[in-house]
Amino acid sequence: MENQDRAMRYARQIARMIQVDTVRRPGADKENFDRLHAVMAELFPCVFEGCRRWEFESSLLFCWPGKTRRALVLMSHQDVVEASGAWKYPPFSGTIAEGKLWGRGALDVKGNLHDIFQAVEELMEAGYTPEWDVYIAASHEEETGGNTLIVDFLREQGIVPEMLVDEGSSIQPCPVPGFDGHAAMVSVAEKGYIDVKCVARGPGGHASIPGKGTPLPRLGAFMCEVENTDLFPVRLSSASAEMYRRMAALSADEGERAYLTAIAEERPGWQESLGERQKEMLGTTIAFTMAGGSQAANVIPQEAYVICNIRVAPGETVAGAVAALQAVADRHQVELEVLRSNEPSPVTDPRGEAFVRVERAIQAAWPGTEVLPFLLSGGTDTKHFVSLCPNCLRFTAYRISADQQVRCHAIDENIDLDTIPNGVDFFKNLIQGL
Ligand SMILES: [Zn+2]
C-alpha cells in the first residue's frame, strides 16, 4: 500500500512537470522553462533553497555539498521532443490511467528528472549529508544537440566529477534467448556521430543527350558499394565482451550460452555469427538519409548529393570512418564534406567502481535484477562531459516493457506507476552508497 501511495504522489508531481510544454523552440521558449522551474521550486523546496544553484540560460545546476570534495553528477534534461500525432491522452496532460502515467517526457526524461530531485529532497528533509558533493545538472536542449554551459562552468571552477549518471537505457526485456526476464541495461559508452554530404559533379546538360557517368548514377553506384561492403568491421570492446559474458551466464539454453561465450571470447567466426541487429549495436553504422539533384525532370544536374549519417562505435574514430568512406567515394569521383561530427565516448569500465555503485543501487531498488553493460546508439548530454569526467554511465531508472520502449519519441509515451518509487529509491541508494 505504501508503495502505491508513493507511486500516485510521485506520478501527480511528474504530471505537473509534463504539463509544462518544454519542446525546444529557440528564442521563444524561455517562459516555458521558467514555468517548469517554478513548478519544480514548489515541488522541491529543500533542493531549491538548501543547495547552491546556478542558471545558464535555462539550464540548471545545483550543488548539495557533501563531507568531501569528491563529486557525483546526476543528470537529466528538461526539454522534450515534439508531440504531434493522435495520442490516446493529450501529450501534455500528464494523464494517470490504466496504472500508467501518460505524456511527452514521462520516460524521456521528466520522470527521472523528477526522481533525482525527489531523492535529494527526501534525503535533505531527513537531515542526511552525503559523503560526496552531489551535483544535479539539467540542461534545456539535449534533444537539439545539447550545450556545454554547465560543463564549461565546472571546468572553470576546477571541479572534476568522479562519476556521472545520465539518462540512457532502462530495465527492459532482456534480449537473451533462454532468459525470460528483464535486465538493467547500463550504458558504458555512446557512439560518435557524423553527418557527411557526398557530392558528385559533372557538366550537366539536357536530358535528351545524357552520356554516361552523370552525377546521380555515380552516387547510386557509390551508395550500392557502401551498402554491399562491410565498410566498418565490427570489433569487440572490453565492455561489449563483458556484456556477452554476462548474457551467456543468464541463458538457460546451452546452445545460446555457447554462442554468446564464443562472441565474448572472440573465437574464430564470431563476427560472421552476428545477426544484423547485433552488428548494428556493436559496430559503426551508416545510413543514407537525404538527397538532391537538379530542379527539373529534363535537366541533368551539374551537382547532385546524398547525405549520410554515421554512428561511430567506441574504439573507432571520426577520421577513420570518414577515411573508409572516402576510399569508396574516390572510386566514383564523389567528394565528401563533413557537416557535423563528434567522436565516440570513452568506455567506462564495467568492472570499475562507478559501475559497481550503480549496479548495487539498481539491485537494492529492484531486487533480483540482472545488470548488463550496454552501448548506447543515440547520443545524450553526457557526450559534453566525457572529456571532464572519467566515469560516465547512462541509465534511465525505470522498468519498462518493449512497447513502452518504442513509445519514446513517439505517440503514447508512458511509464508504469509502480516503477516510479523504485526510480526514486535508485537515486537515494546511489547517493547513500557513496
Ligand atoms: Zn532524453
Inter-residue contact 371 to 169 (CB < 8 Å): no
Q: Where are the beta strands (DSSP E) in 149-226?
A: 163-173, 182-190, 192-201, 205-206
Q: What's residue 94's pLDDT?
A: 98
Inter-residue contact 307 to 334 (CB < 8 Å): no
pLDDT, greater one: 294 or 145: 294
Q: How confident is the model at residue 140 (pLDDT cuts 50, 70, 90)?
A: very high
DSSP state of 80: B
Q: What's residue 256's pLDDT?
A: 93
Q: How far apart are CA 122 and CA 110, in angstroms?
A: 18
Q: What's residue 1's pLDDT?
A: 56
Distance 295 CA to ligand 1 centre (A): 38
Distance 377 CA to ligand 1 centre (A): 13
Range of the domain at 374: 2-190+346-432
Distance 308 CA to ligand 1 centre (A): 23
User: Is residue 121 domain-shared with residue 39, that is, in the same domain?
Assistant: yes
Q: How far apart are CA 31 and CA 35, in angstroms?
A: 6
Inter-residue contact 230 to 158 (CB < 8 Å): no
Torsion of CA 288, 345, 427, 36, to 10 degrees: -60
Inter-residue contact 196 to 353 (CB < 8 Å): no
Q: Which of 375, 376, 367 minimizes the C-alpha distance to 425?
A: 367
Describe the crossing of helices 30-43 and 110-125 by its angle, rounded to 10 degrees: 30
Domain stops at, among 342, 357, 383: 342
Distance 143 CA to ligand 1 centre (A): 7
pLDDT in tens, 55-100: 999 999 999 999 999 999 999 999 999 999 999 999 999 999 999 9
Distance 238 CA to ligand 1 centre (A): 26
Per-residue pLDDT, averaged over 142-155, amounts to: 93
Per-residue pLDDT, averaged over 130-137, amounts to: 98
Residue 65 grid cell: 555539498
- CA neighbours within 13 Å on the CB side: how many for 212? 2
Residues 6+ apart with CB under 8 A from 13: 43, 114, 118
Distance 249 CA to ligand 1 centre (A): 31
Per-residue pLDDT, averaged over 25-32, amounts to: 90
Q: Which of 144, 202, 188 minimizes the C-alpha distance to 27?
A: 144
Q: What's residue 228's pLDDT?
A: 95
Domain stops at, among 287, 318, 342: 342
SS3 assignment, position 74: strand
Q: What's residue 173's pLDDT?
A: 87
Distance 186 CA to ligand 1 centre (A): 15
Domain count, the chain: 2
Per-residue pLDDT, averaged over 399-410, amounts to: 94
Q: Which of 352, 373, 362 minimizes the C-alpha distance to 429?
A: 362
Is the pLDDT score of 320 beyond 60?
yes
| Chain centroid to CA 413 | 16
User: Is residue 333 domain-shared with residue 365, that is, in the same domain?
Assistant: no
User: What is the residue-averaged pLDDT of the chain?
Assistant: 95
Inter-residue contact 219 to 333 (CB < 8 Å): no
Q: What's residue 390's pLDDT?
A: 94
Domain stops at, among 342, 368, 392: 342
SS3 assignment, position 103: coil
User: Is residue 167 domain-shared with residue 22, that is, in the same domain?
Assistant: yes
Work out the widest C-alpha separation in the chain, in whole angstroms: 82
Q: What's residue 431's pLDDT?
A: 98
User: Is residue 289 domain-shared with residue 351, that is, in the same domain?
Assistant: no
User: Is residue 213 domain-shared with residue 288, that is, in the same domain?
Assistant: yes
At 34, which amino acid appears? Answer: D
Q: Taking ligand 1, which is a single-atom ion, which protein residues have CB atoms under 5 Å away?
A: 108-109, 167
DSSP tally for the chain: helices H, then strands E:
13, 17
Residue 246 dihedral angles phi and psi, to the nearest 5°: -70, -35
Three-state secondary structure readout of 316-359: CCHHHHHHHHHHHHHHCCEEEEEEEEECCCCCCCCCCHHHHHHH
Distance 323 CA to ligand 1 centre (A): 31
Residue 374 grid cell: 550496454
What CATH code is carried by the domain that includes residue 183?
Answer: 3.40.630.10
Is the pLDDT score of 38 beyond 80?
yes
Describe the crossing of helices 2-18 and 420-432 by its angle, rounded to 10 degrees: 90
Is the pLDDT score of 125 beyond 90?
yes
Q: How far apart are CA 51 and CA 45, in angstroms?
A: 10
User: Is residue 175 domain-shared with residue 62, that is, in the same domain?
Assistant: yes
Q: How far apart are CA 166 and CA 358, in angstroms?
A: 11
Residue 129 grid cell: 549529508
Distance 24 CA to ligand 1 centre (A): 13
Distance 112 CA to ligand 1 centre (A): 10
Strands 96-97, 100-102: pairing is: antiparallel
Distance 142 CA to ligand 1 centre (A): 7
Residue 157 dihedral angles phi and psi, to the nearest 5°: -80, -5
Per-residue pLDDT, averaged over 215-235, amounts to: 95
Distance 288 CA to ligand 1 centre (A): 24
Residue 270 grid cell: 564470431
At 61, which amino acid appears? Answer: L
Q: How confident is the model at residue 237 (pLDDT cuts 50, 70, 90)?
A: confident
Distance 253 CA to ligand 1 centre (A): 35
User: Is residue 243 domain-shared with residue 275, that is, in the same domain?
Assistant: yes
User: Is residue 39 domain-shared with residue 97, that is, in the same domain?
Assistant: yes
Residue 325 grid cell: 568512406
How many residues are there in the chain?
A: 434
Is the pLDDT score of 308 beyond 80?
yes
Q: What's residue 49's pLDDT?
A: 97
User: Is residue 182 domain-shared with residue 207, that is, in the same domain?
Assistant: no
Return the percentage of the chain with pLDDT > 70, whole number. Answer: 100
User: Is residue 330 domain-shared with residue 366, that is, in the same domain?
Assistant: no
Q: Where are the beta strands (DSSP E) in 12-95?
A: 52-56, 59-64, 71-75
Is the pLDDT score of 222 beyond 80?
yes
User: Is residue 248 domain-shared with residue 308, that is, in the same domain?
Assistant: yes
What CATH code is carried by the domain that includes residue 321?
Answer: 3.30.70.360
Residues 6+ apart with CB under 8 A from 163: 71, 72, 73, 354, 357, 389, 391, 392, 393
User: Is residue 238 domain-shared with residue 309, that is, in the same domain?
Assistant: yes
User: What ipTM score was computed for the predicted complex, to two decimals?
Assistant: 0.95
